[in-house]
Amino acid sequence: MANVVVVGAQWGDEGKGKIVDWLSSRADVIARFQGGHNAGHTLVIDGITYKLSLLPSGIVRAGKLSVIGNGVVLDPWALLAEIERLTAQGVTVTPENLLIAENTPLILPIHGELDRARESQNSVAKIGTTGRGIGPAYEDKVGRRVIRVADLGDPATLDLRIGRLLTHHNALRAGLGLEPVDSEALKAMLLEVAPKILPFAAPVWKVLTEARRAGKRILFEGAQGSLLDVDFGTYPFVTSSNTTAGMAASGTGLGPTAIDFVLGIVKAYTTRVGEGPFPTELNDSDGQRLGERGHEFGTVTGRKRRCGWFDAVLVRQTCATSGVSGIALTKLDVLDGFDELKICTGYELDGTFYDYLPTAADLQARVVPVYETLEGWSESTAGARSWADLPGAAVKYVRRIEELIQCPVALLSTSPERDDTILVTDPFED
C-alpha cells in the first residue's frame, strides 16, 4: 500500500481540494502538514460545496481519520468556526475522526494584529499576506516562544509561555504604535477555548506510525503551492512555511521513508494571488477570459487571482524540488475555445537565456518569457472521463506539457466534480 503526498506545484489554487477528496475516498488517514487558515480548499460533492481552510479534505468522508500535523499553525477559534460551518452542512467532526498534534503551534489574535499592522506600514514593498497571523506565528515557533496545543492543559506552563511571548510582542507593538497585550485577558481566552480543543489533541506522530505499520493508506495534504515555499519560492513574496513535499515528513512526525508517491497538482494555465513576480501574467483580454472562465477568486480571501499562460519552466522546477512522481493536471476545460495557446519554455534576460527562474529578486522581476504556440480547440473538454473524450489538440497540449516539465500526467481533471477525472497512474498502487 502506497502513502501519497499531494502538493501544489504552482502558486496555489491549483485545485488540490478536488484531487485530495478524490484520493481520500481510497485513503484511511488524511494528514495536513503545513500552513494555516490562510489557504483554502473548495470541494464539490454531489452538488454540495464545502469550503475548508484548516480541516483536511478527508473530513467530509465518513470513516476516514483526519489529522492536523505539527507543521500547521492553528488558530483555535478559526478551527471551531470551521467545524461549526461543516456541522451545519451535515458533516460530523469529533475526536473520533479528527486529531490535532499536541505540538502544533497556536495562532493567537495578537499574531493577526501584528501581521496586519506590519503590512499596512510597509511602504517599500507589500508581501501580499492575508493578515491572518500565519507569519508571526511561525516566527514565534522558530523563536521558541509560541504557545502549543499541549500547553493549554496546564495553567502554570501557560503562564510561562505567555510571559515569554509578551516580552517579545509588547516590544514590537510599542514600535508599531499598538497597545500592549493584557496577559490575564489572553490567558482567560486560552483557558476558555482549551476544553474545546484539547479533546482533539494526540501524539499524531505515534498515531501515524501505528497506522503505517498496520498497512493503512496515508494521504499527506499540503496547502498553498511550491512557488510559495519559504526557501524555494519567489522570496520574499512567499508564505512562512515549507510547501514542498519534504515538509510532509517533518510536519507530521512520520519519516521520509513513509512517502511512496508525490503528486503535484498543476493547473493547465497559471494563476497567482497577491504580490510578487509572475513572468507569464496576462493583462489583456486573454487573461480576463481565463479569470472569468476559471472563476479565479481566492477561497479564503475572495481576492481576484492574476492569470497567465502555462509556465513549464516553473512547474519543471517545482517538480524537481518536491520530487514529484506524477502530476494531476486540472482545469483543462477552462482553455476550451481558445484559437491558440501559449506555453512558456524559458526566459530571456539581458541577452541571456534561462531554463529556470533565477533566485535573485531583481532578476525574477525582469525575466521575459519565451513562448511556444500551440493550436487550441473549439470542442468542450468539460466532464471528459477518458482520453477518447478529448479533442486531439487538447491531447497534444497535455503531452507537450509532460515533455516540457519532464514529469508524467497521473490524473487529468476536467471539471470541479470529483468523478470528472481521467486516471492514468494510480498513486496508491504505483
Q: Is 13 a catalytic residue?
A: yes
- Cα dihedral across residues 225, 227, 233, 238: positive or negative: negative
Query: Strand 29-32 relative to strand 65-68: parallel, antiparallel, unpaired?
Result: parallel
Q: Which of 21, 37, 41, 169 is catalytic?
A: 41
3-state helix, strand, coil in the chain (%, to 5): 35, 20, 40
The greatest distance separating any two alpha carbons of the chain, rounded to the nearest whole angstrom, comes to 67
37 classed as catalytic: no
Tell me how far apart the alpha carbons of residues 425 and 305 are, in angstroms, rounded to a whole number: 30
SS3 for 337? coil
267: alpha, beta or left? (left if phi > 0; alpha if psi -120 to 50): beta
The SS3 call for residue 406 is: coil
Interatomic CA distance for residues 401 and 9, integer angstroms: 13
Sign of torsion, CA 30 33 36 38?
A: negative
Strand partners, 105: 148
Q: Supply the residues annotated as catalytic.
A: 13, 41
